[in-house]
Each structure stands twice: as structure tokens, then as C-alpha cells.
Amino acid sequence: MKTIKILKIIVLSMLLIGCGQNKEEGTSNSMQSDIGQFKQEEVQNMEIESNFTNAEIAKYTIASVMNQKPDILKVNEKDGMFYVEYKLPDEPKKQEYKIRINGNRVIWGNVPGRWRTTKKDERITYQVDDNKIMIIQTFKDGSNKVKEFSKLD
């Protein structure tokens, strides 16, 4: 079991390291190519074995990106897409976001609004280790913001 976990970490690390290495050749990552036009057959909702559901991954992603506490977020699923919303007490309007999960990649956007899939947008991935999840935002300059949550958050 420990060997499988180590192999998962190695594979995920290799995927993260390989992201964006095609810049010199002028090609873009396959996930970057017009994901804004989602169709069910184009992007399949592949699941990575983990202790977290896709709904929890969506919730923790928005908690990280928007710097909010996970317990104020509400998640709904419709047709393989997740909708995360919250309302702050001092704001008149609720905030709502849409999420797609493909492998360890999380793609998000405002509702209504565009998907964050351009080269200027951050790339969001996640890694799971038992009851902890790390949400990793990688920005176009190569810098990262990593936020960790436990299953109990």
C-alpha cells in the first residue's frame, strides 16, 4: 500500500514538473486548448483515488482561491460540474463559482463568467495524502501558492 502511495506521488510530481515545458516550441498544454467550450465528451470527469470526493475538492479549491473558510461554502453538483457558493454577512450578493475536475487538475470560473483557462490564468492542481489535501495554484511566472486542508476542515 505504501508503494502505491509513493508511486502516486512520483507520477503526480512528474506531471506537475512537465507542465509548461512546451513553451519553447510554441505549443500549449492540451488542457489549455479552449476548455471554455466544455462538452461532456471532450473532457471526461476522471477520478483519482483519494479520501476526498470531487465535491470536497471543489469546495477546498474555492476556499483556497478565494481565501475563505471551507465551512461557509455550499457545494452542488449538476451534470458532472460542481457549483460552489457562499455569502458573506456584509455583502448583499452571494458569490458563485463553477468547477470541473479532470484527474488532478481543477478548472474553475465565476457564475456567470468565463472558465479560467488562458495562459494568463493560474493552473490549479491538487494532491491528496490520506486525510490532507493540498490545493496548488501555479501562476504564469512559475510561482506557486499552496494551501493545505484536512478532512476535518
124 - beta bridge partners?
Answer: 106, 137
Q: CA torsion, points 71, 120, 34, 52, in degrees to nearest 10?
A: -30
pLDDT at 29 > cutoff 90: no
Residue 28 confidence (pLDDT): 38
**Nearest C-alpha neighbor of 127 from the set 9, 7, 5:** 9
Angle at CA of residue 121, ends 115 and 122, nearest 5°: 110
pLDDT at 3 > cutoff 60: no
pLDDT at 36 > cutoff 60: no
Give the tens place of pLDDT for each residue, 67-99: 999 999 999 999 889 999 999 988 889 999 999
Give how many domains the chain has, as a whole number: 1
Give the tens place of pLDDT for each residue, 91-110: 889 999 999 999 999 999 99
Q: 7 versus 146: which is more confidently predicted?
A: 146
Expressed as residue numbers, the domain containing 93 is 2-150
Task: Judge contact between 140 and 119, C-beta under 8 A.
Answer: yes
